[in-house]
Amino acid sequence: MEKLAALDRELFLYFNNLGSERWDWLWVALSDKWMAIPFYAVLLYLLFKKLGWRSTLITMLVVALLITATDQLANFFKHTFERPRPCRQEGVMEFARFVAERCGRYGFFSAHSANSMGVAVFLSLIFKSFYRNLYLILIFWAILVSYSRIYLGVHYPGDVLTGWFFGVILGFLFYQLWLKIYEKLRKAKENSGKA
């Protein structure tokens, strides 16, 4: 386990130190949830265009539940394992570039990575029959958000990979929930049309 932790620290320092002041603003912006609002707005428009307002509202509700689930699971892990973030870890923080505005206490695992990957998987599964290649943009976005956490100095690569793992699982599970609700709505609409 110590070898794995040492590798995680080495990888963190390598990727974190690839950064430069010139690009710090970009990675800070990518990590800021409010900066993604235009991206979310486009996705909402695409959902509305293909599914209508009722299914779009249901989708928004399921996404909110998905993000809540990934956040709470990440918080549970953080307070269970109490692994310090790299920006608080002696022997690491002295050699890292800390760019974030603040540094939380514990970092295992990254909620940003779990959220972004969970939403990317969830929406990719919904959009697959409408926009075949949109999943590439969604996954690329999740990777950028996740890398920003390493760049800013607040998460190890292991935190990010674990976040992706849980994001993929929860994204798929919440898609199954969405599918059941969507099918019920579709059948109810068909039945009301026959009446």
Total number of residues shown for the chain? 195
Residue 195 has pLDDT above 90, yes or no: no
Residue 191: per-residue pLDDT: 76
Give the pLDDT confidence of 160-193 residue by residue, as tens digits.
999 999 999 999 999 999 999 998 888 877 777 6
Give the pLDDT confidence of 41-88 residue by residue, as tens digits.
999 999 999 989 999 999 999 999 999 999 999 999 999 999 999 999
Annotated catalytic residue: which of 108, 155, 160, 163? Answer: 155
Give the pLDDT confidence of 97-152 residue by residue, as tens digits.
999 888 989 999 999 999 999 999 999 999 998 998 999 999 999 999 999 999 99
Question: What's this model's pTM, rounded to 2 decimal places?
Answer: 0.90
List, as one string, the DSSP characters of 36-50.
GHHHHHHHHHHHHHH
Annotated catalytic residue: which of 9, 78, 85, 112? Answer: 112
In contact, 99 and 27? CB cutoff 8 Å = yes
Residue 194: per-residue pLDDT: 60
Examine the residue annotation and report whether 79 is marked as an active-site residue of this protein.
no
